[in-house]
Structure 1
Amino acid sequence: MNEQTFAAEKEQLLQDVRHVLSSTEDLLTAAGDEGGEKAQQLRQRLADKLKEAKAKLTEAEQVVVGKAKVAAKATDQYVHENPWKSIGIAAVLGFLLGLLVSRR
């Protein structure tokens, strides 16, 4: 999965969640105005929309976890293939971080 595909999927998931939440807000407003059986139907639709939102969030979580696992695996592979370069990079970053912290 390349970066553009990941960004597109992430944006689509965010749009879906925004749409579900917007629909839920509309239903909530309508449910407040209605009484009796119609209110019960609106509440059921609201519950369905909330389930849909939870499903979308779970899907988004799985995408993020999958991407994090791929990044961790790539990092681990790079460190194993280039141990001295990795040590050098870590040392330079540690030194620079130390300089920044000591100036405060």
Structure 2
Amino acid sequence: MSQNLSGTNDISKEKLMQDLQLVVSDAEELLRATAGQAGEKVSAARERIQDSLSAAKGRLADAEEAMLEKTREAARATDEYVHENPWRAVGIAAGVGLVVGMLISRGR
């Protein structure tokens, strides 16, 4: 299941980047259009920019919610593991602390 979520997040990130690139492209078109002209062309470009911004904001909100849910799931899984294996968790934490301490002392 974790692999499936990772694949979904990768696709969401790619889609978000595509949406943001579209916004940039539309903004550039608007700047070119307003450099010397006004009227229907500017209005159409502004409308596309607004649509692109709305889509990008929606995707960003969806990606943020998915990230928060994944974080909640990881926290729940960690909490369950620690409650089911308290001494193992303490041993792992002590081992990580020892390794970090050794690395820090080497750096001096």
If the length of structure 2 is used for normalisation, what is the TM-score?
Answer: 0.86
2:106 maps to what in 1? 103
Cα displacement (A) at 1:103: 1.5
1:17 maps to what in 2? 16
The one-letter code of the counterpart of 1:54 is K
Cα displacement (A) at 1:4: 2.1
1:27 maps to what in 2? 26
Q: RMSD over aligned Cα, in angstroms?
A: 1.3
1:66 aligns with 2:66: no
Q: Give per-residue Cα distances to partners, 1:20-41, cap 9 Å, x unaligned.
A: 1222222222222322122022
Aligned counterparts, 1:65-104, within 5 A: 65-104=68-107
Query: Percent sequence identity over matched residues?
Result: 35
After superposing the two structures, state which structure 1 stretch, 38-47 or 28-37, moved more. 28-37
The CA distance in 2 between the partners of 1:69 and 1:53, in whole Å, is: 24
The CA distance in 2 between the partners of 1:85 and 1:32, in whole Å, is: 61
Structure 1 segments (4+ residues) deviating >3 Å: none
Q: Which runs of 5+ in 1 are unaligned?
A: none
If the length of structure 1 is used for normalisation, what is the TM-score?
Answer: 0.89
The CA distance in 2 between the partners of 1:93 and 1:32, in whole Å, is: 54
After superposing the two structures, state which structure 1 stretch, 27-36 or 65-74, moved more. 27-36
Cα displacement (A) at 1:7: 1.8
After superposing the two structures, state which structure 1 stretch, 16-25 or 59-68, moved more. 16-25
* Count of matched residue positions in the alignment of Structure 1 and Structure 2: 103
